[in-house]
Structure 1
């Protein structure tokens, strides 16, 4: 299976995506815990059905020592006992911010307050940018029908 388009081959799209990828790398340098970043990236990608991003973030998380059990339970995090309260708060923000079209009106004040109880302002900003970044990356990959399965950990970082 081949992707419909190669964004990087187009001079304008390629330049834009290089900047977008730089933004993704900058997020890795934030104080938002790396484990939380991978869990959030995985959950957003699951919601959006982005196979290539699910592949990437599952493998990156595993390479950094994340357990297979926790990765398998991300899709059902509300019923799983393996996530911290801080991780649960981040996953809840990620879900509400990703499902804005479902009529919920975005991230509720209550959900934001739960996240703010665990993360400082810098981390909350990083969380918001990460969720937005992942939604953008997911949509670009879905539009292109980017195939999944060949990603090697650290390939794009």
Structure 2
């Protein structure tokens, strides 16, 4: 599968993408745990069907020490016993934040309150930005048909 467009190669859009990617990198420095960030990024990408981002986040999480079992179970996290209550709250938040058209309201008050039990305001802000950023990245990759399978852990993303 070949990509439809190399959006980075276009001068105006390439510059904008570089700014967006820099913003995404800033999220890694927040107080939201790195493991949670990768799980959320993977789940959003699974929901959206973004092969490039699924590839990247599985490999990055594994390289950072995440177990293959937990990575395989992210798609069925509700039925899995390997996630903490905080991670489960973040994954539920990610699902509702990604499926805004389905829910008709975005993240429900109940899901927000559950996430707020586990994360402080700074971490919640990072979670909101991460879910939003991943949906943006997924959509750009899906529209331009960016393939998955070639990411090398440790590459800039």
Residue matched to 1:13: 13
- Note the alpha carbon deviations across 1:83-129, whole angstroms, 9 max, x for none: 00000000010000000111341101110011000101000000000
Q: Which aligned pairs between 1:143-154 and structure 2 lie closer than 5 A?
A: 143-154=143-154
> What is the SS of the residue equivalent to 1:117?
helix
TM value normalised by structure 2: 0.98
Residue matched to 2:111: 111
Residue matched to 2:83: 83
Is 1:31 equivalent to 2:1 in the alignment?
no
Residue matched to 1:40: 40
TM value normalised by structure 1: 0.98
Structure 1 alignment gaps of length 5 or more: none
Quote the RMSD (CA, aligned, Å).
0.8
Structure 2 alignment gaps of length 5 or more: none
Q: How many residues align?
A: 157
Residue matched to 1:62: 62
